[in-house]
Amino acid sequence: MASEDQWFKGRVKAVTSGDCLVITALAQSRPGPPPEKTITLSSLIAPKLARRGGIDEPFAWESREFLRKLCIGKEIAFKVDYKVEAIGREFGSVYLGSENLAKLVVQNGWAKVREPGGQQNQDKVLKPYIEELLQVEEMAKQEGLGRWSKVPGAAEASVRNLPPSAVGDSGDFDAMGLLAASKGKPMEAIVEQVRDGSTIRVYLLPEFQFVQVFVAGLQAPSMGRRSTQETVVEPDVTSAPNGDASAEPRGPLTSAQRLVASAVSSVEVSSDPFAMEAKYFTELRVLNRDVRIVLEGVDKFNNLIGSVYYSVGETVKDLGLELVENGLAKYVEWSANMMEEEAKKKLKAAELQCKKNRVKMWSNYVPPASNSKAIHDQNFTGKVVEVVSGDCLVVADDSVPFGSPMAERRVCLSSIRSPKIGNPRREEKPAPYAREAKEFLRQKLIGKQVNVQMEYQRKISPADGATTSGAGDSRVMDFGSVFLPSATKGDAAAATPGVNIAELIIARGLGTVVRHRDFEERSNHYEALLAAEARAIAGKKGIQSAKDSPAMHVTDLTVASAKKAKDFLPSLHRSRRISAVVEYVLSGHRFKLYIPKETCSIAFAFSGVRCPGRGEPYSEEAIALMRRKIMQRDVEIEIETVDRTGTFLGSMWEGKTNAAMFLLEAGVAKMQTGFGADRIPEAHLLELAERSAKNQKLKIWENYVEGEEVVDGGSKVETRQKETLKVVVTEVLGGGRFYVQTVGDQKVASIQNQLASLSLGDAPIVGSFNPKKGDIVLAQFSLDNSWNRAMIVNAPRGAVQSPEDKLEVFYIDYGNQETVPYSAIRPVEASVSSAPGLAQLCRLAYLKVPSLEEDFGPEAGEYLHSVTLGSGKEFKAVVEERDTSGGKVKGQGTGTELAVTLIAVDDEISVNAAMLQEGIARMEKRKRWEHKDKKAALDALEKYQEEARKSRTGIWQYGDIQSDDEDSVPVRKPGRGFIKSDNIRLRGDCHMLR
């Protein structure tokens, strides 16, 4: 390695005796441990330490300890003086700073100088050096230092009384006895050998018991096996796939098992990657060092498992934790279970961090597939609208306008699981403590302001226990931590988000903490949740106790027959006012209530107050308003009667406020004057609230005109207000039919924002996504390449075979339709697809417009197209009639069809009147008894039809056309230039609003 008289620098790794050191290089040019050299101090003879089963020479231990304490781990300079090939040893001079180590050893009496008389050249080289050593030795002898002690019996006393070694043959070694005597107590020891990164052999002081210790909670890479038989104990723990320590490990083999294994196969096994590096890491820190060992346990093979601590200056280091943190050992569950919980968590967290950073032995680590992903920068504040279960809330986001359905966000509490609440419609009963968990959150949170920190999303499939509609269905759930702001005022309160609701649930034994896998997203407050669970277990609270949850039977009249509901009416009539809890808002004026006193749930509706029905304007606003105002609140009710469907009718108070007033004041409900007002408590207050909304022209009263009277059904007289919408036309179908979008509708902006925020990847792999007829998807519109919600109208039979397979789609927010390739289709999240389509089907009221196949049908379509479709052209659509029979148009989806009078903002006459004037439409046939509103409208339109008839314009060019009694007109032959195919429809710039 080096020529003589050449000096080198190195570091002392080990001291094997009073005159021998192991030195490693300070730097290296290749990966792995640096090179090392064993040097015996020239011309010295130190007392020999006992080998296994032997006896020390006098003062051998003290000699070794002097040199060990003097230079272990320190930087030195050395040179090789000579070699003795016969014994394969190198002798040299070693300097610690400016001090000659050999001189220091001799000067303190711990070695004697070998007399000259060996090789002539060698003696000549070392002669001045030896002469100095002999002088120093003589002085040590005279002073009685070290081995030259003149104290009677000192030599005999210096010989250690070594107990039998526990290494190699541990049959008589009482490992359990040692553990019982020393459990949890640090034992002083000196490390004599490092077998591998996580296995050391030590002398336990002061008895000098020689034992082998496996570092608790981890395993370093194996050093392999030599072809010769090995008779010492070695750890042999099965490695888990991909380096994961969660697999079931085996304990280390006994020496007998090791002998059998080596006898069966003497094939050499190479070391694992990073094994040498891990061993050197441990040697550099603890070999020949003073350490403290805390025994954690003993395995079934009588092996000691312990934690190893060493000191660097004033700092105490944990060898096991350092090995794991540096990617040189993996966490092992079976031995980690012997440790304290805090130390176990640190090891696990250190390994997880190394896996994430791919450190050393984890450099090729591939994380397991996860169904969760982190959510960033989505914290918000809001009011709790609904408690779905003990681990799920609905919070209305403060940043979204009040009353908007889009404000409500469902938040599942991160990293906890409460008992399932069940579903009475599927005959699923609540699990034990499910009701208690939900009720605890309801009383704690409903209507309260909370801070929400969103943390991760998780895709839930049927295999996870979610009930879905199809075998391949899945849904995405958002998880976060919810905090109830502290009542304490000041800077300290502002710095913290508040009380963690999940922690409260766990601490009361109303839920459990989810044990996440590695790399699975979890709560940012996971440690606090585990601590709360430990307290609940110690206190035997809730589901952590052996007690059964209180039995509770609830009669659900919402799923029972109407007769059973009527049978309950007398018992509910006995009390003037009944306490109840609003379980669910079914519509703006209809609710599901739970009555604790009667332990029953009922359907309840306001007497004399009605909101728009489902799908009608402002119905969703009414539901959102009542969810914000009374959902899951404690209320009082007075029941008057029960209707034929089993719904109880009456009045409700939230606090001292009649709940119906919330609707009437907001303009999203009307009083029913046909219902006896004298039977409604506080009817005068409700009428005042309705009058206030009318005066302010709110919502359904937007176009209210005082004093308009119409006959309703020929018997009752009431003021009737026609609904008026502000719209833009998005698609013209022909035959007087078209689609519109409402201007200023918050739903339009919300849907457009959601679509804009989507991150669309490549086209789905053929076969991975097979949309069926009626499915809602995202489709790319061919004219401007924008992505929009669409319904599949027609799809290939069976699975899609090619990216170019064609699917016919209907754009539910615009009303147009086209055929697109499979590559222009994407699946859409439920949160985006669940909102109803924004396109509303309309027709021109009181007119008969020729279809595209009839004479003047293309001209009528072209005219309607030209006057309605344009850049941002707005109209007022007065709703004259509603056709709820389905509104079916071939290939165009279904829905309520509105018959409207369409008036441009800057025009004097309506589009209806203009088409009559142009002779491309005619009026409906009058009936003998017409509503006076309709009669007035027809009278106003008739003058425009008469004008076209007299001037023989359009359809009147040959005089009067056929009788209205006939259902159809003759189909003309193609050739007049606008439409030639049954399958071609008029299409406008339907994306002009985007």
Question: In 3D, which of 784, 774, 839 has the Cα closest to residue 807?
Answer: 774
- Does 975 score more than 50 pLDDT? no
Residue 789 reports pLDDT greater than 80? yes
Residues 422-458 have pLDDT tens digits of 876 677 788 889 999 999 999 999 989 999 999 998 8
Q: Which residue has the higher pLDDT, 815 or 993?
A: 815
pLDDT given at position 405: 65
Residue-level pLDDT at 227: 57
Higher pLDDT, 238 or 172: 172
pLDDT of residue 118: 54
The mean of the pLDDT values for the chain is 82
Statement: residue 173 has pLDDT above 70: yes
112 CB-near residues (< 8 Å, 6+ apart): 44, 45, 106, 137, 147
Contact (Cβ atoms closer than 8 angstroms) between residue 971 and residue 982: no
Per-residue pLDDT at 148: 92
**Predicted TM-score (pTM) above 0.85:** no
Q: What is the average per-residue pLDDT within 725-749?
A: 85
The string of pLDDT tens digits covering residues 838-893 is: 899 999 999 999 988 888 989 999 999 888 887 668 888 998 888 876 655 544 55
Least confident of 61-75, 95-109, 474-488: 474-488
833 or 662, greater pLDDT: 662
Q: What share of the chain in percent tops pLDDT 90?
A: 39
Q: What is the pLDDT of residue 491?
A: 55
Among candidate residues 703, 746, 708, 699, the one with its CA nearest the CA of residue 724: 703
Q: What is the DSSP string of 202-248?
A: EEETTTTEEEEEEETTEEPPP--B-SS---S-B---PPPGGG-TTSP
pLDDT at 969: 42
Q: Please, which pLDDT band fits residue 285 given cuts at 50, 70 and 90?
A: very high
99, β-bridge pairs: 96
Residue 692 has pLDDT above 80, yes or no: yes
Residue 202 pLDDT > 50, yes or no? yes
* pLDDT at residue 199 is higher than 50: yes
Q: Name the pLDDT band for 676 (thresholds 50, 70, 90).
A: low
**Is omega for the bond preceding 821 within 30 degrees of 0, making it cis?**
no
Q: 218 pLDDT exceeds 60?
A: yes
Higher pLDDT, 222 or 378: 222
Mean pLDDT of 383-404: 87
Confidence at 127, pLDDT banded by 50, 70, 90:
low
pLDDT band at 743 (very low <50, low <70, confident <90, very high): confident
- Supply the pLDDT for residue 961: 67
Per-residue pLDDT, 403: 63
Give the mean pLDDT of 235-259. Answer: 41
Q: Residue 241's pLDDT band (boundaries 50, 70, 90)? A: very low
Res 810: pLDDT: 92
pLDDT at 268 exceeding the cut of 50? yes
Q: Which residue has the tokens 């591939």?
A: 366
- pLDDT higher for 573 or 66? 66
What's the pLDDT band for 716 if we cut at 50, 70, 90? very low
Top mean pLDDT of 627-641, 748-762, 976-990 is at 627-641
Tokens of 378: 């989505």
Kindly state the percentage of the chain with pLDDT values over 70.
84
Give the residue from 969, 990, 953 showing the smallest Cα distance to 838. 990
Mean pLDDT of 977-982: 36
- SS3 (DSSP) at 313: coil
In total, the chain counts a number of residues equal to 994
Residue 809: Cβ-neighbour burial (10 angstroms; 0-12, 13-18, 19+): buried
Confidence of residue 643 (pLDDT cuts 50, 70, 90): confident
Average pLDDT value for residue range 203-223: 93
Q: What is the pLDDT of residue 125?
A: 56
Mean pLDDT across 488-502: 70
C-alpha pair distances (Å), 986 with each of 376, 730, 732: 45, 11, 6
| pLDDT at residue 45 in the model | 93
What was the pLDDT predicted at 980? 33
What is residue 389's predicted lDDT score, i.e. its pLDDT? 92
Q: Flag whether pLDDT at 659 surpasses 90.
A: yes
> What does the pLDDT read at residue 908?
72
Which contiguous run of DSSP H or E holds residue 178?
helix 175-182
Least confident of 11-25, 368-382, 954-968: 954-968
CB atoms within 10 A of CB 942: 14
Task: Report the pLDDT averaged over residues 954-977.
Answer: 56
pLDDT at 100 over 50: yes
- The SS3 of residue 537 is helix
Tell me the pLDDT tens digit for each residue of 178-191: 999 988 899 999 99
96-104 contacts: CB < 8 A, separation 24 or more? 96/70, 96/71, 101/21, 101/41, 101/67, 101/70, 101/71, 101/76, 102/19, 102/41, 102/42, 102/43, 102/44, 102/133, 103/132, 103/133, 103/136, 104/70
Question: Which tens digit of pLDDT belongs to each residue from 573-596?
Answer: 777 789 999 999 999 999 999 999
Distance CA 980, CA 167 (A): 99
Return phi, psi of residue 132, to 5°. Answer: -65, -40
